[in-house]
Structure 1
């Protein structure tokens, strides 16, 4: 894809690809003007492939199934996908205000229908990203917006912070995301003790999804290095280059104690000339507890 962050690393190196009853969710179109390119991950079609309308429960606290297909250039459902990071398809779901993040893995039947048991915790407009690579084709991220009925109480974007707390873990972010490129490091601690035995999750010790707050443009970290050769903590580091200035919400998934945890950060990016090594101040070190958000 064209909007990729360049990542190289210390510890684990990562490459960013910088995103009523059971019924059909209402779909929202991206906000780009007709003559502007659609931001990364916000199109429902690209390269001849299409994410079909998403079938899911229409109200909160309603158990059901989320379903969709990926169709190919011939209009038929695609049934052959490359395995990437231990899965054929990664599904990322988040509400328009950046809350309710989930990273899950639906299953596909022989006819190409993907499905997963599903319910929504809160009403609102959600964007559902499908991250996949058909066999013999380039990696793609397609998405659609789904409306969940009810009175919506949007949450303000948390201020930039260098520490996030989740499930008893403290994750510290060092470095500043910028448009000129910069090194970012995540250090994981539990009860003040560095975690040096991170467990493999989807073929790596950590994964990162970043969404631009203004439009939820999608940026996904793909790990490099090999489990067993790369140190399993306490630090995960990489060099990242943001495509534009603005606020970003970062979701770091890591596995420890047999469970996947998600640490969330807000990063504020300022426009910088290439070669300017000065980072933007992240602000206070106040943490944000993201333990209520699900993940797969």
Structure 2
């Protein structure tokens, strides 16, 4: 499935209108976010994609706060949800949707949140192990991420000394897990849905276009609860044509020239 970024070539086709209530968003206070996908000023119906009609990823500009949510469809065809932002500052909203009769599309917007701004965290240290809710996740090949090839994402999960296998996980959004990668500098975006692999409970393939530091969030579901682990990887430049296997990520991703 291809994901088409909204840029100069296709921005006219689909416009995502974002409104907030209250209009001035403040940290620590609930805010209603409403998104309406429009074409020629009319709301466009959306198809179900990976079990939902609209996927919304909300992240702080420094990529240290992440939320993946699914706004509820309203009677007028728009989608709404409540969110409380932890601190003031800039946040990015990536919405992923498939208009009926159209292609899978990615839209990126920014929102300014009032209130006390936390010091910017410029720590770009790599992070291959993440502990969440008693689970330990390890990105086993985290030091081997390169551009210009089909990149494997190999993640192990342990709890109480036991290594989990894929059947220990419940399906989440039509796959064994859900993965998002966002570039720290250019905010390149990859939306990845893992495939089955007998060696790792979470295994995926993607192709990363630009080198640099990326933040990654891997979400998995066990006993009805979704857990979110985070990693940081440094993607280096790979040799062109090194590997051309089919990947399982949406492309193209956001790059500076598309914003």
TM-score category (smaller protein): 0.7 to 0.9
Structure-2 separation of matches of 1:245 and 1:121: 30
- Residue 85 of structure 1: which of 50, 62, 68 is its match? 50
Aligned ranges for residues 240-259 of structure 1 at < 5 Å?
240-259=206-225
Q: Does 1:209 align with 2:175?
A: no
Q: Which structure has the higher relative contact order (CA within 8 Å, separation 6+)?
A: 1
Aligned length: 234
Q: How many angstroms does 1:167 deviate by?
A: 1.4
Residue by residue, what CA displacement relative to the aligned partner does 1:159-189 show, whole Å, maximum 9, x if unpaired? 1122111111111112222103232201111
Q: CA RMSD in A?
A: 2.4
Q: Does 1:219 align with 2:190?
A: yes
| Contiguous gaps of at least 5 residues in structure 1 | 5-16, 19-39, 278-296
Q: Which runs of 4+ in 1 moved over 4 A?
A: 40-43
Note if contact 1:56-1:118 (Cα within 8 Å) is conserved in structure 2.
no
Q: Structure 2 length normalisation: TM-score?
A: 0.82
Is the partner of 2:18 in helix, strand or coil? coil
Is the partner of 1:165 in helix, strand or coil? strand
Aligned ranges for residues 8-157 of structure 1 at < 5 Å?
40=5, 46=11, 48-57=13-22, 58-72=25-39, 74-78=40-44, 80-153=45-118, 154-157=120-123
Note if contact 2:90-2:112 (Cα within 8 Å) is conserved in structure 1.
yes
Q: How many angstroms does 1:261 deviate by?
A: 0.8
| Contiguous gaps of at least 5 residues in structure 2 | 244-259
Residue by residue, what CA displacement relative to the aligned partner does 1:221-271 show, whole Å, maximum 9, x if unpaired? 13456xxxx66x852223332101111111101111321111111110111
Is the partner of 1:54 in helix, strand or coil? strand
Q: How many angstroms does 1:155 deviate by?
A: 2.0
Give the number of the structure whose residues are more often strand, by fraction. 2
